[in-house]
A = this chain, B = another copy of it.
Amino acid sequence: MNIDYNILRAYGGVAKKVAKDDLVFEEGTTPRFFYQVIEGEVMLFCSNTDGKELIQGLLAAGKSFGEPSLFLEKNHSYSARAVKDSVIVIITKDKLLNIFRDYPNLTNALVKTLAERVHYQSSLFKIWVNPIPEEKIMSFLEVNYPKTDMNERKEIPLTRQQIANYIGLRVETVIRTLVRMKEANKVEIINRKLFY
């Protein structure tokens, strides 16, 4: 979902700065706003009592989040935190609904966004069905950074820790597995940067 910034502003949306590592909202709380990233990057994740975190998504500028909970009036099923200094637009449900009323075409965009998210989350199950670290990493890479026809490898803009937090393994396991995958030529590692 990406609603024009000017429209959001015109209907009462407010831009807000969030510093790196600031929480935008927390798992289990009641949703009150629609959020859209203007600048920076926001991470959606859930955590357990040990402080371990599982990443559900990393959102770049232009992406929205929190809609499903807002529409359903169910509590947030994940937390949101800025991973860089960011700017996000916040708008209440009422005002958002006004936008949808005046711009009915947006409904199609909403359906598409939600369908994409369902499809994406479904694809992620590939990570969980396979207990072998190497397969998990492969699934993760293929879902998030699918190979194009050309054999060009793309750089993966994530830390080892972030990859670990996506697939539910420890950093050390990810590192050791990546080394093995590099030797098997399944990925490339140049100057500590990962290419798939």
Chain A residues with CB under 8 Å of chain B are 46-48, 52-54, 56, 67-69, 71-72, 74, 77-78, 107, 110-112, 114-119, 121-123, 125-126, 128-131, 135, 168
| A129: nearest chain-B partner, CB-CB | B54
| A100: nearest chain-B partner, CB-CB | B111
- Once the chains bind, are B128 and A77 in contact (CB under 8 Å)? no
Q: How far is the CB of A166 from chain B (nearest CB, A)?
A: 10
Closest 5 CB pairs of A and B: A114-B114, A77-B122, A54-B129, A68-B115, A121-B121
The verdict on A121 contacting B119 (CB below 8 Å), with A128-B128, A129-B54 known, is: no
Question: Do most interface residues of chain A lie in helix, strand or loop, or is the interface mixed?
Answer: helix
- Once the chains bind, are B116 and A68 in contact (CB under 8 Å)? yes
| A139: nearest chain-B partner, CB-CB | B48
Number of chain copies forming the complex? 2
- Once the chains bind, are B77 and A119 in contact (CB under 8 Å)? yes
The verdict on A125 contacting B78 (CB below 8 Å), with A117-B118, A131-B168 known, is: yes
CA distance A195 to B81 in the complex (A): 37
| A47: nearest chain-B partner, CB-CB | B129
- Once the chains bind, are B72 and A125 in contact (CB under 8 Å)? no
Knowing that A74-B119, A118-B121 are A-B contacts, what are 6 other residue pairs whose CB atoms are under 8 Å apart, sorted by A's residue number?
Answer: A46-B126, A52-B129, A54-B125, A68-B119, A114-B114, A114-B118
